[in-house]
Amino acid sequence: MKRSVVLGTGSFLPRRELTNADLERMVDTSDEWIASRTGIRTRRIAGKGEENYRLAAGAARRALEMAGLEAGEIDLIVVATMTPHMTMPSCACFVQAEIGAQRAFAYDLNAACSGYLFALDMADKYVLNKPDMNILVIGSETLSARVNWQDRNTCILFGDGAGACVLSGRDHGGGIIDSQLFTDGNLWELLYMHSPKSLNPDLVQPGDDHGYIRMTGRDVFKFAVRAMEESVTALLQRNGIATKDIGLMIPHQANIRIIHKLMERLGVPEEKVYINVNKYGNTSAASIPIALDEANRQGLIRRGDLVLFCAFGGGFTWGSMLMCW
What residues are annotated to the active site? 113, 252, 282
Asked if 220 is part of the footprint of ligand ACO (rule: CB under 6 A), the reply reads yes
Closest separation in Å from C-beta 317 to ligand ACO = 10
The contact mask relative to ligand ACO for 286-315 (x = CB under 6 A, - = no) is --------------------------xx--
For residues 52 and 85, the answer to whether their CB atoms sit within 8 Å is yes
Which residue, 99 or 225, has its beta carbon nearer to ligand ACO? 225
The contact mask relative to ligand ACO for 152-181 (x = CB under 6 A, - = no) is xx--xx------------------------
Considering only residues 126 to 145 of the shown chain, the ones binding ligand ACO according to CB under 6 A are none
Asked if 113 is part of the footprint of ligand ACO (rule: CB under 6 A), the reply reads yes
Closest separation in Å from C-beta 259 to ligand ACO = 10
Stretch that binds ligand ACO, among 27-35, 173-181, 195-203, 204-212 (CB under 6 A): 27-35
Residue nearest to ligand ACO (CB): 217
Asked if 226 is part of the footprint of ligand ACO (rule: CB under 6 A), the reply reads no
Stretch that binds ligand ACO, among 4-12, 82-90, 210-218, 271-279 (CB under 6 A): 210-218
- Residue from 35, 97, 128, 215 in contact with ligand ACO (CB under 6 A): 215
Closest separation in Å from C-beta 109 to ligand ACO = 17
Closest separation in Å from C-beta 23 to ligand ACO = 8
Tally of CA atoms within 13 A in the half-sphere of 37 that contains its CB: 15
Closest separation in Å from C-beta 38 to ligand ACO = 5
Asked if 38 is part of the footprint of ligand ACO (rule: CB under 6 A), the reply reads yes
Asked if 29 is part of the footprint of ligand ACO (rule: CB under 6 A), the reply reads yes
Size of the site for ligand ACO (CB under 6 A): 23
HEC profile of the chain:
CCEEEEEEEEEECCCEEEEHHHHHCCCCCCHHHHHHHHCCCEEEECCCCCCHHHHHHHHHHHHHHHHCCCHHHCCEEEEECCCCCCCCCCHHHHHHHHHCCCCCEEEEECCHHHHHHHHHHHHHHHHHHCCCCCEEEEEEEEHHHHCCCCCHHHHCCECEEEEEEEEEEECCCCEEEEEEEEECHHHHHHEEECCCCCCCHHHCCCCCCCCCEEECHHHHHHHHHHHHHHHHHHHHHHCCCCHHHCCEEEECCCCHHHHHHHHHHHCCCHHHECCCHHHHCECHHHHHHHHHHHHHHCCCCCCCCEEEEEEEECCCEEEEEEEEC
Closest by Cα among 181, 143, 158, 210 to 316: 181
Q: Provide the binding-site residues for ligand ACO, judged by CB under 6 A.
A: 29, 33-34, 37-38, 113, 152-153, 156-157, 191, 215, 217-218, 220-221, 224, 252, 254-255, 282, 312-313
